Structure 1
Amino acid sequence: MQKSQKKSDIKIKSAKTYLPGLDGLRALAIIGVTFFHLIPNVFAGGYLGVLLFFVITGFLLAYTTAERDHRGTFTVPNFYAKRVKRLYPELILVVFFSVGVIRFLVPWAVQGIRLEVASVFLGVNNWWQIAQNADYFKRIASASPFTHLWFLGIEIQYILIWPLIFWGGKQIKKRRGFFAAWCFVLLLSLVSAVWMPICYQITHNVTRVYYGTDTRAFALLFGACLGLLKYERDASRKRRPRPRRAGIKITAAFWGIIALVVVSYVFIKGRYAFVYDGGMALYTLAFGALLAMTVDSRLTFGRRLDRSRVLKWIGSHSYGLFLWQYPVIFVFNNKGWLDHAAGGVLALVLIGALSAWSAWLVDFVEKRRWQKPFKKRGFKIAAVAVACAAAAVCGLGLYTTLTSKNSRAEVQQALKSRLEKNQKAISKTKDGTPIYPWTDPPKAKANYKGTGNAARASVKNVTIIGDSVTLDAAPDLKAKFNNSVTINAKQSRHIGDELDWVKKQRKHHHLGRTVVISLGTNGELYEKAVKALLKVLGPNRSVFWVNVYGPELDWTRANNDYLNQLAAATPNLTIIDWNSTLSAHPEWLWEDGIHPNPDGSKAYADQIYNAIEQVQTK
């Protein structure tokens, strides 16, 4: 990540032209991301800090490239070499050190981790994570200490293509001038920004939209527009303008955007359709305005941010803070150490200490400081000992990665076979139509509010829509409902994937008056997709939604909280609390900790049946 760029990378001709305030903006970004990872239910919008990082990275790459090209010192090999030196030493240390430690603390998390680590170093981790939705049996074990490194994949891919984009702009500038070249980069940014909502509408898959390089590149390219514009103005000035205090309007705009960012870190949840239908593009514009005001040499905002030693330290160590935070939070979460506030504070302290340590260690090794004389011999011995110990742990991590085997492979294969068998069974039809056709329900009762009994709920002629959890329990569901049920369940299903099937069933009057939904295991329940499904089902059906169990899944609590809020606002919706049931009976699960074993499948079917029967008698 381009978050702790050296001062030498952002100079024009002398140290006097250093761009102040960037560390303060990096600090604002990393604070949001860190608290989103640590307490996502409080800082639900902290992921927006990623956008600010993207804008800063795009800005710095464009600014420094234009400056070096102007001096005649820019070469593509040199550019790549600097980026590799900036990104990889600390990344290698964090990944292998983390694997070496996690091998003892959370051993299951490093089983079969080779492909994930390879995707991180090859710079394609975002696409690797998108692919996990296609291969479910990698995904059920994908709770990982390196989930956050999708971000680095996008940055590495952008770094690879940036020299080509810059060359294209340079050719346009020679023929048409700077404005045409600038518009070329801006057009690329607009294409990506427009593609995000289109892709969201087409796929209904937030994972694809959120992790895709094509859907996220607009922030990097918009930052590049600002960087090129900034350098062009700086290079055209004969002398540097003297800083002055901004007027009331500009000052209000600057601090207003910061206030907006802080508020958004709390309230703008990732499930909101607004985020993908243009919200991210709007926030990118806001971050761009914030960056432009910060680096404007005629204003003093950047110098004000630099006065805070805390923000400056956080910003200068933001890359290390980003790399270390998820491994630390992952371990703390799995060990139950985040159940109390003290655990969260300790995690933050440890993240800060590790980021400072890794930055020092990389510098110690890169500059061969052990060869230089130390004022105190004892310090030199301690420093070398620490470096050797770190090398030993990293070596263990490398060995663990190369030799990792998934000890759960046999269990997963057995589960896979079971699901494939169940999938074939529930797909059987007569003459191409569902086994139990029925007509649409009559108009709802006038007084059903609070009962969920919109169409006189019944345990007969029920439609159940679910993912692999439902698929796993399909035989028990059929037996419990005496075959008076149609089950549509698929592995790896996200909310939105079921919509076309539901529309088709309703069109042909094959949708039950009582509908059970069991979705939310494979990712967040996004507002737009949920409301689209409920709209198709209509207010005259009794709808039951099975909530989510998965302590290792980041979105479990958010999904269940959302479902409770949804039920309170939707009279014909009843929540089936599968989460509480499994919390009391973890022995009802297979080894993956998500899918019900034979005892769990029976309990799952019983709970759904009993919930419908209870509403039916109201």
Structure 2
Amino acid sequence: MVTQQHERLDRARAGAPTPPIRTANTDERGGARGRRIEGLDGLRALAVAAVLIFHLRPETLPGGFLGVDVFFVVSGFLITTLLLRELATGRVDLARFWLRRARRLLPAVAAVVLVCVPAAWLVSSDLLVGIGRQVGGALTFTTNWLEIGAGTSYFDTTAPQVFAHFWSLAVEEQFYLLWPLLLVALVAATATARTRARIALAAAVVSAAAMAVLHTPGEDATRVYYGTDTHAFSLLVGVALAFWWSQPRGFLRSASWQRWRDPAAFGALAVLVLLMLALHESTSLTFRGGILLAALLSAVLIAAILGRPGIFQGLLRLPPMEWVGQRSYGIYLWHWPVIVLLTLAVPTGHDSSGHWILRGVAVVLTLLVAGASYRWLETPVRTHGFRGALRRVRRHLGSPIPARRTSTRVLAGGAALLVALTAVAVAVAPDRTATQALIEENQDRIDAGEAVRDEPTEEPLDQDFSMPSGEEITAFGDSLVVTSADGLEYHLPGIMIEAESNRTWADAPGVVHRALAAGTVRRAVVVHFGTNAGITDPAPVRDVLDALGPDRMVVLLNVYGASHWVPETNAALDRIAADYPNAIVADWHAAADEHPDLLQADRIHPGIEGAHLYAQVVRDAFADLSERITGEPVTADDADGAGGEPRTGGQGGADAADTTDGAAERPVERPGDA
């Protein structure tokens, strides 16, 4: 417990008694029972809706992750206001403050962990990779730093984690742990609320500057996004707003602000939505001022609902908004595991009607589970405390009403079973995913053939655009080519593969130029990059095609996945290939979307049978390209492969509009001995 030494010092330095905080949640009342900050729940609803859209369909709202920063600003403002009001009474009861935070956060977290770990085990063992670290981070609110240390990525859709979204809870809880102590020191060391607000804002600028400096364009941004030091500025913006609001005669209480706050709110909301539509994780501006701007706009939205009722506040108070906002914590906790588990349990193509149905089911299920958690778990613990809630359970176990007694025992037994299953799942969790195992196995085999790849091949004296055999094809690429090696070698025997996981289009020119210098590139070439980051610059693609020259047949494969950049990457490939008559785009996206069941758990890389589908798409694209250039139909004998007569499957190049249906619309051949 921290106590102010003198009432006069408190009055002078606190600026004045803080206005009563009014909030919708029982854990945030702190003595002002029943009074609310009207509209605050509506802001939470907007924030969680943005995050949901981002995780459900990132190409629709690529910057939807900014909703987390709206939460951060709300938390910084609310917690600081509560603490200032406690300081006005003469002391801050730290033990009681932290206990309220624990009551608010821990029950729902424990429920999510105990339900989702066994469910993940049931759906796919791949989801258990690193689950011990994830569970430890979730229960200790250290997810952000544990994942930074493990080198995982928040933005990498090829390796989904069940509890990846817990990073934000970790940042908030670390703030809750340290900020009360710092606040007391700050109030003791400064004389006015205005000074404290300026200090908080200066600290926010330092944190945002650290994010900007440490961010390296073109590289994964997880470190600066997860870091408490580099992402604390959103919380600090809320802190500064709370200090300004604590001034009895400050700008936020002026007639001028009250007159202009509604237009300011609608303007800030419009700009915030534009940021969510324009910014994404591969944009440097996101981490160099974009997130900070979103935090400042969020502060304007909060400031607009303080004081007397207004138009903006009235919209946020609509019943659906308040219902979602009050349950936003549970919705945030449950939505991501639900999406991940449903996506793996029921494979659907990203462009199929099933995809939208599954997303709708995920939203409904999330709302139902979050609503149940709010009513029967979170609210009882916040209202009665941990001990009070346990006493109620014990009373129900001994209830004379048989139905109540039985239902309570069933729930208690179910909870015990979930604890046991979670412990076993953590104990038996694999150390790598099936995708990673396949990549490593195939990479070793590809690397073992390095001597063969380094053997120079004779350059063709004349142009030859007939259907190539596997011995006439060189394949360059990333992990998609690595995982598809079995299928490529089966359908195109003798193919030379030069591929490595984690390569991007920026790496492609160097790889191709080295092979050309060594004279090891054959007359037909497969090129597949972009799985990790798409195409941020068309120059490397054109560099590769120019280097390969007009005398080689070139098949470019487009990309598949849920990332927001997938559509624009595939459109860019089509535009570029149209300028090269000897190149064609093989529509891997359409094939994978038609057969999502043939993909690995990450819904990016092909499995064993998916590798044969991949090889057929490549082979059919060569057949289409040969027929387009030579005018001669390609027969099964020409293909010289194991999978039967090739049919049209590519698109792009000079005659893209004339191609027929792709390989995704034909039955998948599954060689029994592959």
Choose the corresponding residue for 1:150, options 159, 162, 167: 167
| 1:166 pairs with 2:183 | yes
Superposed CA offset, 1:498-537 (max 9, x none):
7478569869995989986534545x54x6x445755876
Q: Provide the residue aligned with 1:350 in structure 2.
A: 365
Q: Provide the residue aligned with 2:478 in structure 1.
A: 466
Distance 2:280 2:414 in 1: 38
Choose the corresponding residue for 1:223, options 224, 230, 238: 238
Q: Provide the residue aligned with 2:665 in structure 1.
A: none
Distance 1:261 1:607 in 2: 42
Q: Give unmatched runs, 5+ long, in structure 2.
A: 1-22, 459-464, 466-470, 630-674
Choose the corresponding residue for 2:28, options 2, 5, 9: 9
Superposed CA offset, 1:372-402 (max 9, x none):
999xx99976666555444333322221221
**Which structure exhibits the higher relative contact order, with contacts defined as CA atoms closer than 8 Å and separated by 6 or more residues?**
1
| 1:421 pairs with 2:444 | yes
Distance 1:44 1:57 in 2: 24
Superposed CA offset, 1:393-436 (max 9, x none):
33222212211224696967863652552474477799xxx877
| 1:92 pairs with 2:102 | no
> Which residue identity lines up with residue 227 of structure 1 in the other structure?
A
Q: Provide the residue aligned with 2:586 in structure 1.
A: 576
Q: Provide the residue aligned with 1:113 in structure 2.
A: 131
> Which residue identity lines up with residue 561 of structure 1 in the other structure?
P
Q: Provide the residue aligned with 2:423 in structure 1.
A: 402
For residue 146 of structure 1, report the CA deviation from its aligned partner: 2.7
| 1:364 pairs with 2:345 | no
- Tell me if structure 1 keeps the 8 A contact 2:513–2:547: no
For residue 256 of structure 1, report the CA deviation from its aligned partner: 2.9
Distance 1:221 1:172 in 2: 18
Q: Provide the residue aligned with 1:190 in structure 2.
A: 205
For residue 87 of structure 1, report the CA deviation from its aligned partner: 0.7
Q: Give unmatched runs, 5+ long, in structure 1.
A: 439-452, 454-458
Q: Provide the residue aligned with 2:265 in structure 1.
A: 254
| 1:79 pairs with 2:100 | no
For residue 224 of structure 1, report the CA deviation from its aligned partner: 1.7
Distance 2:237 2:432 in 1: 45
Task: Give 1:322-333 correspondences, 5 Å limit.
Answer: 322-333=332-343
Distance 1:140 1:612 in 2: 30
Q: Provide the residue aligned with 1:334 in structure 2.
A: 344
Distance 2:411 2:262 in 1: 47
For residue 56 of structure 1, report the CA deviation from its aligned partner: 0.8
Q: Provide the residue aligned with 1:449 in structure 2.
A: none
| 1:547 pairs with 2:547 | no
- Tell me if structure 2 keeps the 8 A contact 1:246–1:299: no
Distance 2:24 2:455 in 1: 63
For residue 16 of structure 1, report the CA deviation from its aligned partner: 9.1
Choose the corresponding residue for 1:564, options 565, 570, 573: 570
Task: Give 1:132-151 correspondences, 5 Å limit.
Answer: 142-151=159-168
Q: Provide the residue aligned with 2:47 in structure 1.
A: 29
Q: Provide the residue aligned with 2:319 in structure 1.
A: 309
For residue 134 of structure 1, report the CA deviation from its aligned partner: 5.9
Choose the corresponding residue for 1:300, options 297, 310, 313: 310
> Which residue identity lines up with residue 288 of structure 1 in the other structure?
A
Distance 1:287 1:410 in 2: 39
- Tell me if structure 2 keeps the 8 A contact 1:141–1:592: yes
Q: Which moved more, 1:285-294 or 1:182-191?
A: 182-191
Q: Which moved more, 1:309-318 or 1:182-191?
A: 182-191
Distance 1:516 1:217 in 2: 46
Choose the corresponding residue for 1:66, options 66, 74, 84: 84
Distance 1:78 1:537, change over 3 A: farther
Aligned-residue sequence identity (percent) comes to 24
- Tell me if structure 2 keeps the 8 A contact 1:245–1:300: no
- Tell me if structure 2 keeps the 8 A contact 1:169–1:182: no
SS of the aligned residue for 2:232 comes to helix
For residue 22 of structure 1, report the CA deviation from its aligned partner: 0.9
Distance 1:402 1:307, change over 3 A: closer
Distance 1:411 1:567 in 2: 30
- Tell me if structure 1 keeps the 8 A contact 2:203–2:236: yes
- Tell me if structure 2 keeps the 8 A contact 1:10–1:19: no
Superposed CA offset, 1:451-482 (max 9, x none):
xx9xxxxx989682413x33345698799999
Normalization by structure 2: what TM-score?
0.68
Distance 1:43 1:600, change over 3 A: closer
Distance 1:379 1:35 in 2: 47
Distance 1:39 1:384, change over 3 A: farther
SS of the aligned residue for 1:487 comes to strand
Distance 1:129 1:549, change over 3 A: farther
Normalization by structure 1: what TM-score?
0.73
For residue 53 of structure 1, report the CA deviation from its aligned partner: 0.9
For residue 260 of structure 1, report the CA deviation from its aligned partner: 4.2
For residue 251 of structure 1, report the CA deviation from its aligned partner: 2.6
Distance 1:350 1:582, change over 3 A: closer
Distance 1:422 1:265 in 2: 43
Superposed CA offset, 1:96-143 (max 9, x none):
13334555566764576333212211223234445665699xx99953
Distance 2:403 2:364 in 1: 22
Distance 1:47 1:204 in 2: 18
For residue 261 of structure 1, report the CA deviation from its aligned partner: 4.2
Superposed CA offset, 1:205-261 (max 9, x none):
144444443443221222222122222x14x68xx96999953x5432222333444
SS of the aligned residue for 2:37 comes to coil
Q: Provide the residue aligned with 2:297 in structure 1.
A: 286
> Which residue identity lines up with residue 63 of structure 1 in the other structure?
T
> Which residue identity lines up with residue 55 of structure 2 in the other structure?
H
SS of the aligned residue for 1:201 comes to coil
- Tell me if structure 2 keeps the 8 A contact 1:244–1:299: no
Distance 2:204 2:147 in 1: 24
Distance 1:532 1:227 in 2: 49
Choose the corresponding residue for 1:318, options 317, 321, 328: 328
For residue 204 of structure 1, report the CA deviation from its aligned partner: 1.4
Q: Provide the residue aligned with 1:276 in structure 2.
A: 287
Q: Provide the residue aligned with 2:216 in structure 1.
A: 201
For residue 26 of structure 1, report the CA deviation from its aligned partner: 0.7
Q: Which moved more, 1:120-129 or 1:502-511?
A: 502-511
Q: Provide the residue aligned with 1:124 in structure 2.
A: 142
Distance 2:158 2:506 in 1: 27
Distance 2:60 2:597 in 1: 31
RMSD: 5.0
SS of the aligned residue for 1:20 comes to coil
- Tell me if structure 2 keeps the 8 A contact 1:545–1:576: yes
